[in-house]
Chains A and B, each alone.
Chain A
């Protein structure tokens, strides 16, 4: 038997490749986790409160209680992700020790470090991180993130920021791909991006890791929109369990993500689904309430 190499870049990025075209759902207990699995989620994100409740509660949002992570982990056979605070090395190590399959170093929680993100390379467990533009995306890849998600504005049920961030990243990737190599260093400086990551993007013609959309998906049509715009998959936080019919919303969002260009099907899926989460207009959010601005 030849040597077994764990925690390699291919193994960590590959895990995210297996999630493509799927929906990852926020859950706060085993009942919700089972609803998500039954609906066809490709993974669940175990946390203490969904983002809209974190907003409502205020105060410091931390890694979920270990008992919640364990309860969710033991309830389903699909992968389990969990959120740790930005820069919180120990929360991340604890989640790794609990055997979660992916860690989200997340701006939805209150950052533990307001200057540095985690050095994610030494971990065996892979990380997903948020981004609003290519500079942020490339810095996270440089730190060792194995998956990205455009941030949107979590817990709002409003898709506008998710669309803005995905369009921004896509457009900046296209620009880099078509640049001459002698223009790349200045672009790296302007974006605040590691040169090597931009070079990889230029050579591959795309981001070197999977990029999901997040932050504001509330309906099947929202999920399909993000796929149409080029997301590899979708995170749904408050959108499912803050709707008035979570099991149906979950199923419909999964099917709409797979069949995102089958508009008759999306029409059928959306019919009589009941009320989506209420949602928040961006103009009513105070600057300190914007979770997307919490990382660097």
Chain B
């Protein structure tokens, strides 16, 4: 684990923002609530939290954050998306009339793929690189239907991809922020460390 202290932004439109902030503080890092594009300049990496992806998307559009977050990703800054964050980082279906995603990661998403709230569940998940199972909480969760060749699959459940990484982007269909287990965030912080070695 790195001893470096990072400033990690949490997209502050709506959703489980405080939960991610608590995890970051617990690991000794600073969290910054991102409400506008200017604030993106102050941070080393960004978390897009769980929430309602359609609401977050519309609020991002209103607050001029769509292109700004796309540029943030293109500058190789790391982004971690959980649940709604995974949906937003993915690509629109080819036949989609209106864009509702950032299209940054080469993944096709099945929104609410595991069903409605009554189908929401907890399960222990085997994650690549983790010795012990991860306690995953899936809430009206999406999954990844198809992933490009540069996407590393980190976990599957019921033969569906539920966690993955592509270069500077990390996604989980479940909610690490709802557990006390910070291993997923630590994985992200390792990515942040990798990406911030280059001299500024």
Contacts and interface: CB of A to CB of B under 8 A. Distances in A.
A binds B: yes
Q: Which size bracket describes the interface of A in this complex?
A: 35 or more
A77 B140 CA distance: 11
A78 B54 contact: yes
Given A18-B139, A78-B52, A79-B52, A124 B14 contact: no
B52 A19 contact: yes
B5 to A, nearest CB: 24
B83 interface: yes
A125 B117 contact: yes
Interface in B53-75: 54-55, 58-59, 62-63
Interface string B123-150: 1110000000100011110000000000
B16 A20 contact: yes
A259 B35 contact: yes
Scoring B117, B133, B140 by chain A CB atoms within 10 A of each residue's CB, the highest score goes to B117
B84 interface: yes
B17 interface: yes
Interface in B1-57: 12-19, 35, 50-52, 54-55
Contacts, number: 129
A23 to B, nearest CB: 8
Interface residues of B, number: 42
A262 B179 CA distance: 32
A241 interface: no
A79 B139 CA distance: 11
A126 B116 CA distance: 12
Interface string A250-264: 000011001100100
A258 B13 contact: yes
19 contacts: A1-B157, A4-B121, A5-B122, A6-B118, A11-B120, A11-B139, A14-B120, A18-B140, A19-B14, A20-B14, A20-B18, A40-B62, A42-B14, A42-B55, A78-B54, A79-B140, A125-B117, A125-B118, A262-B35
Nearest to B14: A21
Given A101-B116, A254-B55, A18 B50 contact: yes
Scoring A17, A78, A255 by chain B CB atoms within 10 A of each residue's CB, the highest score goes to A17
A100 B58 CA distance: 23
A179 B116 CA distance: 40
Interface of B: 12-19, 35, 50-52, 54-55, 58-59, 62-63, 83-84, 111-112, 116-125, 133, 137-140, 157-158, 175, 178-179
- The main secondary structure of chain A at its interface with chain B is loop
Contact of B123 (A2, A15, A37, A255): A2
A6 B115 CA distance: 12
A18 B18 CA distance: 11
A100 B112 CA distance: 14
Contacts of A42: 14, 51-52, 55
Interface in A34-81: 37-43, 77-79
A5 B123 contact: yes
Contacts of B140: 15, 18, 79, 101
A102 interface: yes
Contacts of B116: 79, 99, 101
